[in-house]
Structure 1
Amino acid sequence: MKTKKELRNRCWIDIDGKKFFGPGRAQLLVMIDKNGSLSKAAKDMGMSYRKAWSMVEDMNQRGQQPYVELHKGGTQGGGAELTERGKKVLAAFQNMSDKIQATLEQHTEEMLGLI
């Protein structure tokens, strides 16, 4: 029987020992930017609005500056958009993740060959 081997890595940022930002939150920011709506972003990700709202609140409160600006509903409904800081954090995280993935790909064959 052939054994399936994978080299995997997950990267996230902790603040005071508690997870703050990683792939899930990055994806949430991508979906907010795409949809202009927290509820649509949550739905597309298969998570509850409450969980998405909690994640955004955490990022906005524990980050140096807010990442998402939420607009209350009205005649045209509410919405959400990334702040400039949110866009910068997302771009930097995606860039870093791409570099980490490229490094993993360079070493996968050698590493898995030794296992």
Structure 2
Amino acid sequence: MEKNIELRFMHWVFVDGIKFFGPGRAELLVHIQDTGSIAKAAKAMEMSYKKAWRMVDEMNAMGKSPYVVAQKGGKQGGGTELTERGKAVLAAYSKLNTKLRAAIEEESELPGLI
């Protein structure tokens, strides 16, 4: 019987031994960038608004500069956007993810042995 075998990987960035950035935070930033809202980003991820805000606060506090800035309400109703630093970190993480995925796909020996 043929088995469906696949290699999977996950990777995170640690700062001083603390998990700082990974797939969940990258996805949150993508949703914030797409929607302009932490609340909408949290909803898209089926995550509480409180947890999404905590993640944003941690990224902003631990990064060299903030990744996300929120604008107070007004005529446009406020909103949230990624800073240039946030965009750069998201792009670098995505690039690393692409390279790692390519390396995993290139390594085809293990699934054939199982």
**TM-score, normalisation: structure 2:** 0.92
> Aligned-pair distance for 1:2?
4.7
> Aligned-pair distance for 1:26?
0.5
Root-mean-square deviation (CA, aligned residues, Å) is: 1.3
**Matches of 1:59 and 1:31 in 2, distance apart?**
15
Q: Give the aligned partner of residue 16 of structure 1.
A: 16
**Matches of 1:54 and 1:73 in 2, distance apart?**
20
> Aligned-pair distance for 1:45?
0.8
Q: How many residues align?
A: 114
After TM superposition, the structure 1 = structure 2 runs for residues 52-63 of structure 1, keeping only pairs within 5 Å, are 52-63=52-63
Q: Give the aligned partner of residue 78 of structure 1.
A: 78
Gaps of 5+ in 2: none
Equivalent pairs: percent with the same residue?
Answer: 57
Gaps of 5+ in 1: none
**Matches of 2:100 and 2:92 in 1, distance apart?**
12
Which stretches of structure 1, 4 residues or more, deviate above 4 A after TM superposition?
Answer: none
**Matches of 1:73 and 1:55 in 2, distance apart?**
22
Per-residue displacement from partner, 1:70-112 (whole Å, max 9, x unpaired)?
A: 11234532310000000000000001100100110111x3111
